[in-house]
Amino acid sequence: MNSLAVESAVEARDIVRTFEIGENRIEVLKGVSLEAKRGEKLFLVGPSGAGKTSLLYTLAGLEKPNGGDVLIDGRSLYRLSRKEQARVRNETMGYVFQSFFLMPELTALENVMVPSLIRGRRAKERATSLLERVGLGARTGHLPNELSGGEQQRVAIARSLMNNPKILFADEPTGNLDSKTGIAVMDLLMELADEEERTLMVVTHDSSLARIGDRTITLVDGVIVSDNIGE
């Protein structure tokens, strides 16, 4: 077995996430620990309010935990400065969200290029190539409101790959799509992860969809209740 295949890409150690609502303190994650290996496709499932999205966002560097630690390639993420955290997110991670989060005034091509502009370089050729890869080579000049939901999510996927990240995080990427389009989008994500041996971590409410992954982790009330190898 390749040594890289057994190395940890993302690791959570006793993650705690709490929220204060008025005088109430709500513990969303209660000491969650998990590890995702390089190239692994891991799905997080569970009922609404189980803490799936909070866990994904914490692993992705988007929400700082109240306790515990997150390691990316063995390096503590939240012990870095904010500037260094931002650099790691931009260079190492790609994000796909349920609501697409495309900039309405930008074309598909311009939306895909946004992560590279953040890094201070333009990469029109790569953005064009990525849109072709996700089947939108003829739609590069279209605005988001001129695209279907499935097309918008494909633009978002292309954008997530702009900086060639090692890790892809996806939060309910098929949640706003019909079942046929959702399956096509999920298949595309799996293919793109396979091509570069990327680690893929997906939150989904659809347990049947999660079966296509290498592992399915189930959260209930902020704790992991099962961790199963995929079929």
List the chain domain ranges. 40-63+78-229
Report the alpha-carbon distance of residue 81 to residue 85 in Å, rounded.
Answer: 6
The amino acid sitting at 107 is T
**14-70 confidence digits (pLDDT tens):** 999 998 888 888 999 999 999 999 999 999 999 998 999 999 999 999 999 999 999
Among 76-85, 114-123, 201-210, 212-221, the minimum mean pLDDT is found in 114-123
Count CB atoms within 10 A of the CB of residue 207.
Answer: 12
Average pLDDT value over all residues in the chain: 91
pLDDT confidence of 100, banded at 50, 70, 90? very high
CA 19 to chain centre: 22
Q: What pLDDT was estimated at residue 6?
A: 43
Q: What pLDDT was estimated at residue 105?
A: 97
Q: Please, what CATH class does the domain formed by 40-63+78-229 belong to? A: alpha beta
Q: What pLDDT was estimated at residue 22?
A: 83
Residue 113 in this model has a pLDDT that exceeds 50: yes
Residue 80 in this model has a pLDDT that exceeds 70: yes
pTM of the model: 0.91
Which of these, 230, 163, 162, lies nearest to 202 by C-alpha position? Answer: 230
What are the residue ranges of helices labelled H in the chain?
52-59, 82-92, 108-118, 124-133, 149-160, 179-195, 207-210
- Strand, coil or helix: 45: strand
Taking a C-beta distance cutoff of 8 angstroms, is the pair 177, 156 a contact?
Answer: no
Q: What pLDDT was estimated at residue 5?
A: 43
Q: What pLDDT was estimated at residue 23?
A: 85
Q: What pLDDT was estimated at residue 138?
A: 95
- Are β-strands 167-171 and 93-97 bridged in parallel, bridged antiparallel, or unpaired? parallel
Q: What pLDDT was estimated at residue 230?
A: 65
**157-184 confidence digits (pLDDT tens):** 999 999 999 999 999 999 889 989 999 9
- Are β-strands 215-220 and 223-229 bridged in parallel, bridged antiparallel, or unpaired? antiparallel
Report the alpha-carbon distance of residue 91 to residue 50 in Å, rounded.
Answer: 30
Tokens of 10: 């993302």
